[in-house]
Structure 1
Amino acid sequence: MIVLGIESSCDETAAAVVRNGCEVLASVVASQVAVHHPYGGVVPELASRKHIEAIVPVVDQAIAESGIPAKKIDGVAVTQGPGLIGSLLVGFSFAKGFAFGHGIPWVGVDHLEGHINSVFLEADPPAFPFVALLVSGGHTSIYHVTSHRDFHPMGQTRDDAAGEAYDKVAKMLGLGYPGGVVIDRLAAQGDPTKVVFTRPYLDKAEFDFSFSGIKSAVMRHLQLHPDPSPGDQADIAAGFQAAVVDVLTFKIIHAAKAKGCAHLAVVGGVAANRGLREAVTRDAAADGIRVHIPSIELCGDNAAMVAAVGYHRLATGERAGLDDDVYSRVKFRPRG
């Protein structure tokens, strides 16, 4: 089955063509980083306008690169939520029109479900059951995954998501937006023992997260040590990243042990973080747990992961209707 995936939940316009839920024939992402960089974050109105400009060229490019004619596409999968309503509506409306015009079925996909299924686009996917750490700018959660469509929440952030904390700390340091990449790069140049932040484990026996405290700790440090030099900035970034990575790594490995899983996955935008990838892989190996992390291009928002989920929904006969609508808040709940 050939599925066209469309993603427009935030500030990337993406389209992909995927065969049988696992073979990526083409994946195109149009980024808006340059548009939002001067504002230090995503401006919803600007994001919506840029999606309108990009959606047709991006879909056309994905179809052309796939080598599959539009008339040979079997179905469409599109992100339905959560996300920015204006942004979601652009992709969702286009998907409806494309499917209706070509007389093919279509389905809406939860963005978080897409991220979890992104590991199945790699050559060595995890075996069921496994635990997944979904960590991004808007979400930090752990799930027990028992099938492509059955996910059981184990824990989530009580306040800031990890990626959100990265962006806010980067802004405090005057490093610009987006903050995750620049802090990861800067942390590699610093010494994490120079500026040590308390690890916010909360209850080590449980799986919830909290990153607002460490964000506040960085702010207090900067109030006491204003105008840090480039070297000091690197040490602060290294100390901050070490604290966040230690907590994320401990919690996901603890979850795997608690569920008796031999496999774990780390997905979402923050899964591209070098420090996190290295720490989880190293520490999990010591416990005999196999780690699955998507390639960098599949960690961020993309349409290939949406098409992967869409394949499993379409294959079971699921269909969306023209009166279906998008949603902004998390609706992701276990089916089982």
Structure 2
Amino acid sequence: MTTKKTYILGIESSCDDTSAAVLCNKKVLSNVVATQDIHRQYGGVVPELASRAHQQNIVPVVHQALAKANIDKKDLSAIAFTKGPGLMGSLLVGTSFAKSLALGLDIPLIAVNHMEAHILAHFIDDDEHSGEPKFPFLALTISGGHTQIVLVKDYFDMEIMGETLDDAVGEAFDKSAKLMGLPYPGGPLVDKHAQKGNPKAFDFPKPKVDGLNFSFSGLKTGILYFLQRETKRNPDFISENIDDICASVQETILDILMEKLQLAAEQTGISQIAIGGGVAANSGIRARLRNAEAELGWQTYIPKFQYCTDNAAMIGITGYLKYLKGHFSNQRVAAKARFAIGS
């Protein structure tokens, strides 16, 4: 018995990456991402510039995704797109394009929650596939805009158990990097320096937050005061100790994440743990999760790097899983800047 071939075009435009992917069932045939370097000079994403860049990028990115997949747009079974959460101007570009193309091709339109897609990226089937998490499992979604612990009971039955009360973990990395004079985006640079430093060199405050929620604003303030104090004594303190500072900052952030994740595992009795989101590319969190397999008996699932940051392959796999259930949207569907998991 041969499996019917279902071709899904995924479109992702929630922030500053324009991405399109083509999936045949659960296999990725193409995953094209156009990044926007213009934001580096501003030290962060400028929403108006992001939406303009999406308008310029979306047609060539979709064209390239179809060409790499070696299929014609008439072969598509459905179009999946990011409905939210994200920057409204950016979301509108992807939403409008997806609606127009689906209408023109007379094929189903599938709205996708960006954060659910980060979790469901674990169900992409590729040559290096290390298995799928079994339901129920816990997902730690860590990105520039979100930090959440999610109980995943089924593909589209998810419950947020804990989330950040202020800054997301990606913001904590980027803002800490900015305090050290590192360029945007600073998170990957903190990770790079941390690999050469001593994570126990300096102590930073860990916020006391009840339950499974997170807070990172106090840590950022603690780092600010620490750097101000030390540079007053020695103007070259940051440049002379950059590796150790980054390693200590990263260690503190990872401690916060792992303590809450361990608490969630203890409360639920679940040992299947998956991560997703841009910060899932961090080498430190990956190492911590691998260590937890031996120390805590967890079975951990870590996505490939290209499925951590914003990408359309994760939108495509979510679209495919929705396609199988007949979860389609109509032409009245609208982008939502705030769009909670499970809503």
**Structure-1-length-normalised TM-score:** 0.95
Q: Which residue of 2 aligns with 1:136?
A: 143
The residue number in structure 2 matching 1:202 is 209
Change in CA separation of 1:277 and 1:201 when aligned onto 2, cut-off 3 Å: farther
Q: Is the 8 A contact 1:163 1:180 kept in 2?
A: yes
- Residue 285 of structure 1 is matched in structure 2 by 294
Which among 104, 114, 121 is matched to residue 101 of structure 1? 104
1:263-303 Cα distance to aligned partner (Å, 9 max, x none): 10011000000011101220243111111010111000000
Indicate the SS of the match to 1:165.
helix
Q: Distance in 1 between matches of 2:61 and 2:194?
A: 34
1:171 alignment partner AA: K
Which residue does the alignment assign to 1:58?
A: 61
Q: 1:31 corresponds to which residue?
A: 35
The aligned amino acid for 2:339 is: V
Aligned counterpart, 2:16:
11
C-alpha contact 2:273 2:298 (8 A) present in aligned 1: yes
Equivalent of 2:228, from 219, 223, 233? 223
- Secondary structure of 2:202's partner? coil
Aligned AA for 1:301? D
Deviations, residues 89-108 of structure 1 (Å, cap 9, x unaligned)? 11111101111111100111
C-alpha contact 2:138 2:150 (8 A) present in aligned 1: yes
Structure 1, unmatched stretches of 5+, are none
- CA separation in 2, counterparts of 1:106 and 1:233? 48
* Aligned twin of 2:242: 233
Supply the distance in 2 between the matched residues of 1:28 and 1:280 (Cα, whole angstroms).
Answer: 28
**2:185 maps to which of 174, 178, 194:** 178
1:151-162 matches, cutoff 5 A: 151-162=158-169
Cα displacement (A) at 1:201: 5.1
RMSD over aligned CA atoms reads 1.3
> Percent identity, aligned pairs only?
45
Letter in 1 for 2:34: A
In structure 2, the partner of 1:88 is: 91
Task: Name the SS of the counterpart of 2:115 in structure 1.
Answer: helix
SS in 2 for 1:108: strand
The answer (yes or no) to whether the contact 2:180–2:238 under 8 Å persists in 1 is no
1:148 paired to 2:151: no
Give matches, 1:265-304, under 5 Å: 265-304=274-313
**Contact preservation (8 Å) 1:106, 1:314:** no
Q: In the superposition, relative to structure 1, how do residues 318 and 283 fare at CA in structure 2: closer, same or farther (>3 Å)?
A: closer
> Are 2:227 and 2:238, in contact at CA under 8 Å, matched by a contact in 1?
no
1:140-182 CA distance string (max 9 Å, x none): 0001101111111110011111001111111111101111101
How many residues align? The count is: 330
Give the Å deviation of 1:329. 1.3
CA deviation string 1:247-270 (max 9, x = no partner): 112222321232222310011000
Counterpart residue type for residue 168 of structure 1: K
SS of 2:159 mapped into structure 1: strand
Residues 297/243 of structure 1: CA separation in 2 closer, same or farther (3 Å cut)? same
Instruction: Tell me the residue number matched to 2:49.
Output: 46
Whether contact under 8 Å (1:130, 1:256) holds in the other structure is no
